[in-house]
Amino acid sequence: MVQKRQKVSPVILYSPELTPNSEEPSSRIILSEDERLILNKISGWIHTGSFNDTRFASSAKNSKATILNPRKKYCTGDKLTIQIDMFDYLGNRKTYGGDFIRSRIFNPTLNTGASGVVEDFNNGTYHVHFTLFWKGKVYVSLLLYHSSEAVSALWKARDNDYGLIAFIGTFVNRSQSIKSECGFRLDSGREVCEYRPVKGETFYCIKKDNFHCGSLSTLQSQNQNVSFLRNTDRLLFNRKNIAANIKGDFNYIHVTTCAAPASSNLNICKIGMESPFPSGFVLQNKWRPVFCKIPDFTTQDQMYACLKDKILYLYGDSTVRQWFEYLSKTLKGFKNFNIDRADLRSKLFAADDKRNILLYYKKHSHPFVGTHSYDVKDDSYMSDEIDHLAGGPHHVLVISIGQHFRPFPIQLFIRRVMNVHRAVERLFLRSPDTKVIIKAENTREIHTDVERFSDFHGYIQYLIVREAFKDLPVAIVDAWDMTIAFNSYNVHPAPLVVRNEVNMFLSYLCS
């Protein structure tokens, strides 16, 4: 039985009694070949061994960090390599890798910071590589964010099911309304509404009597009192075991300028440039890319020069909504239109008629996790939104997805990313001069619910996005790298960080 499709929200009524298979919708996504290649590549980076005793897990306290081939004198531009030898809680040297290590150099007096590159030899030894970007004291932070055993537990648990988060839908029929359970999988033999706006991404709600499937009005998420971690696994996620400091046999190193600074011959940042890791560093609270040059954006006129005659579409989560809010508040010519509702801010719009600029933000569709409800009637998947864009030289598309997918199986995220990738491919076919910028996922709080929102999940998703879009002429604002360098532990980074992200974004438009 098929219900008539609604104009803005395609609806199919799925009836177990009228289909050959009456089982509930499966939690497994059948990946295509290109999606499977990404999953296999990512899986190969993760240690998935089993353990039954937390004493054999990696211990930051027992592990050692030493400078490899130390020098008497370090110059700006030199490389610094630190070796980490990992030990377990019993003092035994680890014989395999897979630990999730976050590395950073910094100087709080100079307001500096930069990420390090971790090289895993898969035998308990790691090399962490830094570039010494500034003169003066350089402090080193080496955090064992999760042991390899914790990583393995998170990876296995994430693949288990969708049950960490539930969705409650509200159906409306004139003056009546009723709540119903919704989600990507429903453990029920009851009749369900099937919402399939994009191929391979189906969402369900249990159908209620006297309420049409198209009358679904709002959704709200709820954390479920379930866990897919074993009791032994949970011991690995005590706060003292997360982001624990690995101490070295050094306090800091001193860096000097050994030669006259070379004149910068970097070109202005432009779309198509390869963004390495680390992609830059912070100096005096200002982000400085290592592969290109950011123009000066200290005045509104300089920012307007990039935005004039542009239509900007910002699609994604609240971290890219911060870009909208920063631009619309900083640039006084913007007029905000109050199209928002009393619940979650799902759609924002601003315009500057003097300079012919339109600024538009819209959240991505479910999964969207938050304490507020949100309207679903104008909700659509990002790939569908992109397919409705004409594109062109005055059109700018910004994409940001990640944070809301962390509590769900990784296959769902890969499917979403690749559907967006295919939509961008189609956009380039009809409008190759459209500018497309990816805002990478950023770090968040340490103390948050680890099983649902750990930065390990975010890092894996960050790698997936970079891998998926490497074949397309897009630019990446590497918010992961930037938030590590700025030492940010907030899902919504501070205004200082947002300003630097937006300046990096604007530099791609100026080119």
Residue for token digits 């990640």?
Answer: 402
**400 shares its domain with 292:** yes
What confidence score (pLDDT) does residue 103 get? 98
- Residue 20: pLDDT band by 50, 70, 90 thresholds? very low
What confidence score (pLDDT) does residue 14 get? 27
Which range is most confident: 8-12, 124-128, 375-379? 124-128
Q: With 0-12 CB in 10 A as exposed, 13-18 as middle and 19+ as buried, what is 290?
A: middle
Q: CB-hemisphere CA count at 13 Å for 196?
A: 13
Question: What is the CATH classification number for the domain harbouring 295?
Answer: 3.40.50.1110
Q: Indicate the Cα dihedral angle 130, 131, 133, 136, nearest 10°.
A: 60
Give the max Cα distance, the chain: 80
- 3-state percent helix, strand, coil for the chain, nearest multiple of 5: 25, 30, 45
**24 shares its domain with 128:** no
Q: Which residues pair with 265 in a beta bridge?
A: none
**60 shares its domain with 199:** no
| Contact in structure between 386 and 393 (CB atoms under 8 Å) | no
Residue 271, domain member (yes or no): no
What confidence score (pLDDT) does residue 386 get? 97
Q: How many domains does the chain have?
A: 3
3 state SS of 208: coil
**300 shares its domain with 216:** no
What confidence score (pLDDT) does residue 233 get? 92
pTM of the model: 0.92
Residues 6+ positions from 53 with CB-CB distance below 8 Å: 232
Residue for token digits 């610094």?
Answer: 80
Domain span including residue 448: 287-510
- Residue 26: pLDDT band by 50, 70, 90 thresholds? very low
**138 shares its domain with 195:** no
Residue 196, domain member (yes or no): yes
What confidence score (pLDDT) does residue 21 get? 29
- Residue 50: pLDDT band by 50, 70, 90 thresholds? confident
**436 shares its domain with 410:** yes
Residue 37, domain member (yes or no): no
| Contact in structure between 183 and 203 (CB atoms under 8 Å) | yes
Q: pLDDT tens, 223-275? A: 999 999 999 999 999 989 999 999 998 999 999 999 876 667 899 999 999 99
**466 shares its domain with 341:** yes
Cα separation, 230 vs 79, in Å, equals 42
Residue for token digits 């315009």?
Answer: 351
Residue for token digits 């123009």?
Answer: 295
Residue 36, domain member (yes or no): no
**368 shares its domain with 418:** yes
**218 shares its domain with 237:** no
What confidence score (pLDDT) does residue 204 get? 94
Average pLDDT estimate for 37-45: 93
112 to each of 62, 81, 115, 260, 458, how far by Cα in Å?
Answer: 29, 19, 11, 21, 24
**307 shares its domain with 446:** yes
Decide which of 480 and 186 is more confident: 480
Residue 272, domain member (yes or no): no
Residue 275, domain member (yes or no): no
Average pLDDT estimate for 382-400: 96
Cα separation, 288 vs 75, in Å, equals 19
**107 shares its domain with 170:** no
What confidence score (pLDDT) does residue 230 get? 92
**206 shares its domain with 338:** no
Q: pLDDT tens, 157-185? A: 998 889 899 999 999 999 999 999 999 98
What confidence score (pLDDT) does residue 372 get? 85
| Last residue of one domain, picked from the residues 198, 223, 248 | 223
Residues 6+ positions from 270 with CB-CB distance below 8 Å: 292, 475, 508, 511
Residue 230: other Cβ atoms inside 10 A: 13
Residue 457, domain member (yes or no): yes
Peptide bond into 367 cis (omega under 30): yes
Question: What is the CATH classification number for the domain harbouring 140?
Answer: 2.60.40.10
| Contact in structure between 202 and 25 (CB atoms under 8 Å) | yes
